[in-house]
Amino acid sequence: MSPGEDRTPPGPVRRRVAVVGTGAIVTGGHLPALAAHADRTELVAAVDVDPSRLDAFRAQAPGDVAGYASTEAMLDAVRPDLVLVGTPPSLHRDQTVAALKAGAWVLCEKPLCLSLAEYDDIAAAEEASGAYASVVFQHRYGSGAAHARALIAGGELGAPLVAHCQTTWHRDAAYYAVPWRGRWSTEGGGPTMGHGIHQYDLLLHLLGPWAEIRAMAARLVHDTEGEDVSTALVRFESGALATVVNSVLSPDETSRIRVDCAEATVELTHLYGHRNDDWTYTPAPHVAPERAAAWRTPPADVPSSHTAQLGAVLDAWDAGVRPPGSGPQARTTLEFAAALYKAAFTGRPVRAGEIVPGDPFHLAMHGGDPGWAPGERA
């Protein structure tokens, strides 16, 4: 190296980022994530159909952020590397496909889309463009979840046997007064799609492939097209059995996952996000104390968050690999939702892989069921 030559290693690549939607999930989740990864991202554009909301966001965002009224106009003008989608669910498929066709990667709020048929459109756009679309399931990315998954997958806790997955939240009539909520065409369903999906996505992340599901759903309180509570019994390929509850009728709100393995019970109790302290490990009587102590001490304490997931997406980009939360991972969780609805509305068990093109539940989560489809209610 010659005298005076710069020995400073090159910094990380900064991706040019656009946000589509500037509401609460973007300002409260995505904007802090971008700030935390400011050395790897640069926010260059924002899209919103509401000019006043867009102006308020641009005033809050760092730097000179260009504003646009449509996704298409933004993509044509800016050609971003990464698009963060935070709009109502009915817009996700079209906005994600448009971004992929423009060559951008996508990180989209849940649900990624409203049906398996819509997912096929996204997968086709991925294949054609070489870009990827991930869905925001931030609870996978906290250090507590990563630690529990490693212990279970590695066999340290013994074989998983019994599990419980609980999303018991409370939403009132004012919540459903928002026009796009509670409708199949705009939200895709009730709490099975819009609320509990975070917890059972994490359950699938911990326990692996599911094999069979039986379910029930009801509309007990709210005047909505979809359900306001659903329950399911699930058999996993490993043989483990689980219960899943998705509710917006529960005054005492909690989010909970419990997995009973042969050597220990691991339990997560939180509401909208978790840290290491929210996870507990209870060893079986025959387990040595020092072995159990090691389970309770993950090497870091990373809260589940948009920040953690965005970091994982950027890491995958730098490594030139498919990002987590995309492709088969995204489809598996969406298929689980479709299977829960099919099992609940048909009254029979549904096996993994049976919902294919031509099945009414492939086209829509309500499956055209006379008691649930829009315009079909008695």
Estimate the crossing angle of helix 328-346 against helix 116-129, to 10 degrees.
170
Could you tell me how many residues make up the chain?
378
Among positive and negative, which fits the CA dihedral 32, 36, 41, 42? positive
The DSSP string of 105-150 is: EEEEPSSS-SSHHHHHHHHHHHHHHS--EEE--GGGGSHHHHHHHH
Judge whether 234 and 150 are in contact, CB under 8 Å.
no
Alpha-carbon gap, residue 267 to 256, rounded angstroms: 7
Token reading at 254: 């909690």
Cβ proximity of 264 and 282 under 8 Å: yes
What are the pLDDT tens digits along the chain (378 aa)? 455 555 545 557 899 999 999 999 999 999 999 999 999 999 999 999 999 999 999 999 999 999 999 999 999 999 999 999 999 999 999 999 999 999 999 999 999 999 999 999 999 999 999 999 999 999 999 999 999 999 999 999 999 999 999 999 999 999 999 999 999 999 999 999 999 999 999 999 999 999 999 999 999 999 999 999 999 999 999 999 999 999 999 999 999 999 999 999 999 999 999 999 999 999 999 999 999 999 998 889 999 999 999 999 999 999 999 999 999 999 999 999 999 999 999 999 999 999 999 999 999 999 999 999 997 554
